[in-house]
Structure 1
Amino acid sequence: MIFLFGIVTICVAFTKNYGGLIVCRLLLGVFEAGSFPSIFYIMANFYNKLEAQRRFSIFFSCTCLAGGCAGALAFRIHDLNGTHGYSSWKWIYLIEGSFTAGLAFVLFFLVTDFPEQARFMTQHERDFLKKKLEIYSGNSGFEIKQTWADIGKVFKEPLLYLAALAYFFVIVPSYSYAFFAPTIIKLLGYTNMEAQSHSIYPWLCSLGFSIIVAFASDKMGRRLPFAILAGIVAIVGFAMVLGGGKDYHVKYGGCFLIAMGLYTFMPVMVCWMSLNFSGHTRKSVGTAFVIGFGNIGGIISSYIFPNTDAPDYKKGLGICLAFSAMAVIFIILYFLRLCQMNRKKQKIEYQEKWAARTPREKIMDGDLNPAFRYLY
């Protein structure tokens, strides 16, 4: 899918009309849709609750790095305008699409879906990793064929919807950042190209903050305090941008906090949610639904920053601040549901009902096992 995403990206450079551009954009969405859930699912299959956060955050930090490099790359690619008869905007799609497709082709032969299939490990190492993961998360059910009934059970758990809503509320301001940040930087007196090059600094700060939080989270074995911290940092950042008036240095400082908060909250939320699903089916379906539902927020973000609101974008920024606060609220509700479920599992009635299930049901219902403790 990522390979095809790269190929279609290249094709954008050769579009001749509006219809061709719409088709390419549609295909980009189709091929990109499964990439994030698949990557997070694979990562969750290889690491336990005390190892995963820093891996998830490092991956998300690459997103921050890509966001920062995009501005710097666009600044440099602008110099290619007219080279071999191509405009600079076409060179962006050609270069980035070629790199994506080439890397995807190589990774196809290197990346493994499950520990049981890892070619880079010996059989002894595969057995050891599988046993270690079973201690923390139970049997993955890798060898059991899933049914539609197994998939349907995932959607009966309120945890799924609380996580999806929390992710949805953080996606809207996260996607919106790209709309208003360049405008604020430009108002500091930079040209369009200079603003692109200066946009990298908030991303770099976000990268560092996210990784520091991830290591602390794994060290303490906690997710909630760090998710709330990241949410508060983002809210303060939006307040600075909204209340900065004509002081664009204050607003630029707010951009740093917004990027640091939002792009730390997202990996903490996704890692936390992924590892609270146990079993092949529940983990894959749950992760895909949460991320897929959350990405609907991208549609909203594209409509709340109309050009008529420039340069202050007060309405859009107010919505982003409110959505950031809602993300924190829903993450707390998610935490409360986890606590409730952990207490419920300790009751005799629950354990008796669990004992009456078939061996297959016990494997496929992974995280519902009384021995499985939800992480928070």
Structure 2
Amino acid sequence: MALLMLVSAQANFLPTILLAFLHYSPTKANLYAAATAFATLPFYWAWPFHSDWTRERLWHYVIPLLGCIPAYGIWTWSSGHPHQHSIKPTALYGVAFLAQMPTFAQPSLIAYRTSTLYGASEQAIGTAATFAALSIGSIISPQMFPNADAPLYHEAFVGTCAIVAVAIVSALTIPCWLTLEARTRKQKYGHAMPLRAMEDADLSQVTEAAHHHNHHELNERLRQAALAVKDIEMELVQQIEDQAESKA
């Protein structure tokens, strides 16, 4: 929800930020905000594709959040010290491209959670909960940039930095929650077999080469098991024949 609040606020209020904070004209603010969206559009496709290709989810979610920290840090500092910095408006606008980075972390977030849930029902519920969080974030985000904070929006930028920190810390605790989930399932079902939730988490974070290696190793073990069974069958047949000859 922290990520979705951040993305929604950035998408909805960037023109307002440029208009009031950087003193752009309404037309210029809209055009420059659209430019940041178009610039990040290829990454919105390429970043999730790279996440699928490398079978990695967590850091494809965290890295965009880390990338937006300089943008909100600079905006927070300049809004809190409006007469004590020499940062040009062009530079303040330039970091808006970094502030757009969390937008292409959303697909990785949704895919990461659904790939670590156990069973189709839980995956459906988890996906629905994620999209519900998107709706809730869209409702809360307008309150982050109230008109009372214009034109500097210092409190809004401070709150945004706090949301980024919450999103990063929450993401880094996901492996701990998955481990707790696995232990709970182990206690519930009373067996030590690998749990599907942890298997999915492992599969979502290994490379394609590792998948091929595991598949080859599995085939080799199956072949060895088949040969062992065949040898046992031949030994049993030989024993039966020997017993028949001895009785004769």
State TM-score, norm by structure 1.
0.46
1:254 aligns to 2:81 (yes or no): no
Higher relative contact order (CA closer than 8 Å, sequence separation 6+): 2
For 1:192, the equivalent position in structure 2 comes to 26
After superposition, the Cα gap between the structure-2 partners of 1:276 and 1:369, relative to the gap in structure 1 and judged at 3 Å, is closer
Paired with 1:236 and 1:331, the residues of 2 have a C-alpha distance of 19
SS of the residue corresponding to residue 174 of structure 2 reads helix
1:234 aligns to 2:68 (yes or no): yes
Paired with 2:64 and 2:198, the residues of 1 have a C-alpha distance of 31
User: Which runs of 5 or more residues in structure 1 are unaligned?
Assistant: 1-167, 356-366
SS of the residue corresponding to residue 196 of structure 1 reads helix
After superposition, the Cα gap between the structure-2 partners of 1:346 and 1:309, relative to the gap in structure 1 and judged at 3 Å, is closer
1:321 aligns to 2:182 (yes or no): no
After superposition, the Cα gap between the structure-2 partners of 1:302 and 1:185, relative to the gap in structure 1 and judged at 3 Å, is closer
State TM-score, norm by structure 2.
0.67
After superposition, the Cα gap between the structure-2 partners of 1:290 and 1:368, relative to the gap in structure 1 and judged at 3 Å, is farther
Shift of 1:350: 7.2
Paired with 1:304 and 1:252, the residues of 2 have a C-alpha distance of 19
Counting only pairs closer than 5 Å after superposition, residues 51-130 of structure 1 correspond to structure 2 as none
Shift of 1:222: 0.9
Equivalent of 1:289 in 113, 119, 129: 129
Paired with 2:11 and 2:198, the residues of 1 have a C-alpha distance of 44
For 1:177, the equivalent position in structure 2 comes to 10
For 1:369, the equivalent position in structure 2 comes to 196
Paired with 1:350 and 1:211, the residues of 2 have a C-alpha distance of 40
Paired with 1:295 and 1:370, the residues of 2 have a C-alpha distance of 27
SS of the residue corresponding to residue 199 of structure 1 reads helix
After superposition, the Cα gap between the structure-2 partners of 1:179 and 1:341, relative to the gap in structure 1 and judged at 3 Å, is closer
Question: Given residue 91 of structure 2, which amino acid in structure 1 is its aligned partner?
Answer: V
Paired with 2:185 and 2:26, the residues of 1 have a C-alpha distance of 60
SS of the residue corresponding to residue 236 of structure 1 reads helix
Structure with higher helix content: 2
Question: Given residue 164 of structure 2, which amino acid in structure 1 is its aligned partner?
Answer: S
Question: Given residue 337 of structure 1, which amino acid in structure 2 is its aligned partner?
Answer: W
Equivalent of 1:209 in 37, 43, 47: 43
Aligned-residue Cα RMSD (Å) equals 3.0
Question: Given residue 373 of structure 1, which amino acid in structure 2 is its aligned partner?
Answer: D
Q: Cα deviation per residue 1:36-80 (whole Å; 9 max; x = unaligned)? A: xxxxxxxxxxxxxxxxxxxxxxxxxxxxxxxxxxxxxxxxxxxxx
Shift of 1:233: 0.9
Shift of 1:186: 3.3
For 1:8, the equivalent position in structure 2 comes to none
Shift of 1:340: 4.9
Shift of 1:232: 0.4
User: Which runs of 5 or more residues in structure 2 are unaligned?
Assistant: 206-248
SS of the residue corresponding to residue 373 of structure 1 reads helix
* Larger CA Rg, structure 1 vs 2: 2
- Aligned length, in residue pairs: 195
Shift of 1:231: 1.0
